[in-house]
């Protein structure tokens, strides 16, 4: 009786179906808990889903590469999702134009602080050069961070883990930080969240308020653009000073 089941399991585990289904089921469970908590920031669905998937893979001794065969279809959608950020941007364009100066200044200050503070702290506390290079682009979205980390001598997949962790952290702490600073404008709140916590922060901002979501998407896209252009140059400069 167990033999056909085992054969079925071996077949399913070897197809992309298993990884894809597991990802969606785990996210569905995470999202249900998040909705049940009335979208409390501490109940972010991403770490819940990641924990479920990691536990399932460990229990069945499935390697990450086999899982990713299926999960890559979800991962792939990050590309069109980034392209789609043009839509909320186009809708909010009149406000974006009026706020061009605050946007440019907050982008410059925020992106420098996000990257430089992480690099300096990691370095001061004795992280390895590989970890430091992988942590530098942590506030930009995973696929962009992977490309940047690679050009800096870091590990792309580790950079993706740091980027996802940062996104979750930002989505969790933003409300508390912004309330403590008495930031009331939805545009400012959303922009800070998208800048520091890329797509996961943007998803959080959209769940809270449409205008916050649009400005989060704007910051997310602009930060990816600026970081991809500037971070490699800045780190080369730092390295030459050593």
Partner 1 sequence: MSPFLAGVTWLLVFQSLGEALVRLAGLPLPGPVAGMALLLGVLLARGGVPEAFAAAADALARHLSLLFVPAGVGVMLYARQLADEWVPIVVALVVSTVLAIAVAALVFARLAKRGRGGSES
Where in 182-221 is the site for partner 1 (CB under 8 A)? Answer: 183-185, 187-189, 191-193, 195-197, 199-200, 202-204, 206, 213, 217, 219, 221
Q: Are 192 and 215 in contact (CB under 8 A)?
A: no
Q: Are 131 and 157 in contact (CB under 8 A)?
A: no
Identify which range of 7-15, 35-43, 87-95, 234-242 contacts partner 1 by CB under 8 A: 87-95
Helix boundaries (H) for the chain:
2-13, 16-36, 45-59, 64-76, 78-84, 86-91, 93-98, 100-124, 129-135, 142-152, 156-180, 186-208, 210-241
Would you say how long the chain is, in residues?
242
Q: Are 77 and 199 in contact (CB under 8 A)?
A: no
Query: In the set 7, 12, 14, 109, which binds partner 1 (CB under 8 A)?
Result: 109
CB of 8 or CB of 78, closer to partner 1: 78
Query: In the set 61, 126, 241, 242, which binds partner 1 (CB under 8 A)?
Result: 126
Q: Are 115 and 230 in contact (CB under 8 A)?
A: no
Q: CA separation (Å) from 34 to 44, 78, 172, 210, 223?
A: 6, 21, 12, 19, 27
- Number of residues engaging partner 1 in binding (CB under 8 A): 116
CB of 13 or CB of 24, closer to partner 1: 24
106 is an interface residue for partner 1 by CB under 8 A = yes
CB of 7 or CB of 28, closer to partner 1: 28
Residue whose pair of structure tokens reads 């996210």 in the numeric block: 27
Query: In the set 18, 66, 82, 133, which binds partner 1 (CB under 8 A)?
Result: 82
Query: In the set 18, 66, 133, 142, which binds partner 1 (CB under 8 A)?
Result: 142
Site for partner 1 in 153-182 (CB under 8 A): 155, 157-158, 160-170, 173-174, 177-178, 181
Helix or strand (DSSP H, E) at 30: helix 16-36
Interface map 11-40 toward partner 1 (x if CB under 8 A): ------------xx-xx---x---------
């Amino acid at each position: 009786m167990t033999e056909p089941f085992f054969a079925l399991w071996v077949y399913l585990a070897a197809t992309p179906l298993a990884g894809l289904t597991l990802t969606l089921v785990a996210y569905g469970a995470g999202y249900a808990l998040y909705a049940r908590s009335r979208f409390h920031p501490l109940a972010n669905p991403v770490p819940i889903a990641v924990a479920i998937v990691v536990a399932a893979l460990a229990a069945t001794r499935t390697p990450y590469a086999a899982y990713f065969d299926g999960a890559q279809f979800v991962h792939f959608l990050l590309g069109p999702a980034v392209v789609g950020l043009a839509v909320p941007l186009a809708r909010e364009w009149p406000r974006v134009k009026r706020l061009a100066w605050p946007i440019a200044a907050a982008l410059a200050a925020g992106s420098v602080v996000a990257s430089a503070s992480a690099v300096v702290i990691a370095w001061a506390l004795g992280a390895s050069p590989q970890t430091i290079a992988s942590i530098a682009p942590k506030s930009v979205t995973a696929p962009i961070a992977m490309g940047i980390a690679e050009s800096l001598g870091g590990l792309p997949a580790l950079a993706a883990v740091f980027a996802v962790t940062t996104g979750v952290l930002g989505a969790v702490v933003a409300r508390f930080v912004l309330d403590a600073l008495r930031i009331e404008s939805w545009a400012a709140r959303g922009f800070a969240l998208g800048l520091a916590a890329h797509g996961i922060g943007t998803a959080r901002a959209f769940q809270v308020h449409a205008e916050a979501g649009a400005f989060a998407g704007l910051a997310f896209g602009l930060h990816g653009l600026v970081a991809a252009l500037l971070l490699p140059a800045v780190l080369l400069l730092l390295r030459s000073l050593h």
